[in-house]
């Protein structure tokens, strides 16, 4: 460890989500147990506050916090809309953020950062259910929907609830190394952090509900076995439809053509292998149904905008400031 003490200020308020606070705090505490030196403080205007569910948290008065803050973490909560209109809280949030090395949020905490003007002109994300609202309420923010977390300079915003753990692990990795982040993740029995650009949901989960049982069966079958030979003819047979009818119905119900859905499922499957193992790209391509590494490379560029090798590197080195 580098021996540098880094002060982390978690900002809460009435109705904040407990997991948004506890997740990152547990990550920093785990890093400390392995030799890091994070000093974590919890603050809110007026001091102690009740989180969602009614539990009461002891906290410092945010009005008394001054200087020395390395990282600001703003929690989310269902009451974010009212809190984002609290002029006093926003004033003190701007004040403590002014000299901080990095300013971050979990879930709907992004609305507080945006209301304080801290996300103007920046890329950001929040819980998937509120991305459209964030974009509408704060048009100066470039909202990146469906990402686990987004980094823009010293700013970092994460998606809903447990994504705060992913973000905190990325911060620990940046401050120290990937080995420490992996150790903390193992202690917490969580997946080592998901890459920031990774989707909040699986391809199958993002498909709109479909009425036809045969079509649902095909979607599930492809998701369960992406490496199978999924031609339109085979998918149509599974759906008990003619190939012509299937090719017409599928995009109208699913939103993408059959080949595009299969490609996205295979990219997701390959990404999982890249994240968790060291197999060569040819092996990963065969296991996920692409056949060749070059076919997989082109698919990754179309779907994710990054090569498989770049995706693997991004997973292991998060790059959060």
Which pLDDT band, with edges at 50, 70 and 90, does 310 fall under?
A: confident
- Residues with catalytic annotation? 107
pLDDT at 299: 92
pLDDT at 18: 96
Which pLDDT band, with edges at 50, 70 and 90, does 175 fall under?
A: very high
17 and 142 belong to one structural domain: yes
Q: Compute CA 176 distance to the chain's CA centroid, rounded to the nearest angstrom.
A: 21
Domain containing residue 253: CATH number: 1.10.10.60
Q: Is 193 left (phi over 0), alpha (psi -120 to 50) or beta?
A: beta
299 and 171 belong to one structural domain: no
23 and 133 belong to one structural domain: yes
123 and 211 belong to one structural domain: no
Which domain-ending residue is among 146, 163, 188? Answer: 188
On whether residue 72 sits in a domain, the answer given is yes
Neighbours of 188 (CB within 10 A): 16
108 and 216 belong to one structural domain: no
On whether residue 233 sits in a domain, the answer given is yes
* pLDDT higher at 146 or 129: 129
pLDDT at 283 over 70: yes
Looking at the DSSP bridge assignments, the partners of residue 71 are 8, 102
176 and 218 belong to one structural domain: no
44 and 182 belong to one structural domain: yes
242 and 285 belong to one structural domain: yes
Express each pLDDT in 87-107 by its tens digit: 999 999 999 999 999 999 999
Task: List the Cα angle 58/63/69 in 5-degree steps.
Answer: 85
Which domain-ending residue is among 188, 218, 248? Answer: 188
pLDDT at 317: 40
pLDDT at 27 over 50: yes
172 and 215 belong to one structural domain: no
Domain containing residue 39: CATH number: 3.40.50.880
On whether residue 194 sits in a domain, the answer given is no
Question: Strands 123-124 and 142-143: what pairing?
Answer: parallel
Number of domains the chain contains: 2
263 and 299 belong to one structural domain: yes
Q: What residues make up the domain containing 234?
A: 203-316
* pLDDT higher at 303 or 96: 96
Burial class (CB in 10 A: 0-12, 13-18, 19+), 3: exposed
158 and 210 belong to one structural domain: no
Query: Residue 101, CB half-sphere, CA atoms under 13 Å: how many?
Result: 12
Which domain-ending residue is among 188, 212, 245? Answer: 188
Express each pLDDT in 58-70 by its tens digit: 999 999 998 889 9
pLDDT at 26 over 90: yes
On whether residue 88 sits in a domain, the answer given is yes
* pLDDT higher at 319 or 177: 177
pLDDT at 123 over 90: yes
Q: How far is Cα 231 from Cα 70, in angstroms, rounded to an integer?
A: 53
30 and 163 belong to one structural domain: yes
């Amino acid at each position: 460890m580098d021996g540098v003490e880094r002060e982390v200020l978690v900002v809460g308020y009435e109705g904040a989500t407990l997991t948004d606070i506890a997740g990152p705090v547990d990550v920093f505490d785990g890093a400390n147990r392995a030799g890091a030196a994070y000093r974590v403080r919890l603050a809110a205007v007026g001091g102690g506050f009740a989180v969602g569910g009614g539990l009461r948290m002891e906290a410092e008065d945010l009005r008394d916090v001054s200087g020395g803050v390395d990282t600001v973490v703003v929690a989310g909560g269902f009451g974010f809309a009212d809190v984002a209109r609290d002029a006093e809280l926003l004033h003190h949030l701007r004040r403590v953020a002014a000299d901080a090395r990095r300013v971050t949020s979990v879930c709907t905490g992004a609305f507080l950062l945006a209301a304080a003007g801290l996300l103007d002109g920046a890329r950001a994300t929040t819980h998937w259910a509120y991305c459209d609202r964030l974009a509408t309420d704060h048009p100066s923010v470039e909202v990146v929907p469906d990402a686990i977390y987004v980094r823009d300079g010293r700013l970092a915003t994460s998606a809903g609830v447990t994504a705060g753990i992913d973000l905190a692990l990325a911060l620990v990795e940046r401050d120290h190394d990937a080995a420490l982040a992996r150790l903390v993740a193992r202690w917490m029995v969580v997946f080592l952090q998901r890459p920031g650009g990774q989707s909040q949901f699986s391809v199958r989960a993002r498909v709109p509900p479909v009425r036809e049982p045969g079509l649902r069966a095909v979607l599930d079958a492809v998701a369960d076995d992406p490496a199978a030979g999924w031609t339109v003819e085979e998918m149509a047979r599974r759906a008990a439809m003619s190939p012509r009818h299937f090719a017409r119905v599928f995009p109208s119900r699913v939103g993408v053509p059959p080949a595009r859905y299969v490609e996205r499922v295979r990219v997701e499957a390959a990404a999982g292998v890249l994240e968790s193992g060291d197999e060569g790209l040819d092996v990963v391509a065969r296991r996920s149904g692409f056949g060749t590494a070059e076919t997989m490379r082109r698919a990754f560029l179309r779907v994710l905008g990054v090569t498989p090798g770049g995706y693997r590197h991004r997973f292991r080195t998060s790059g959060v400031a």
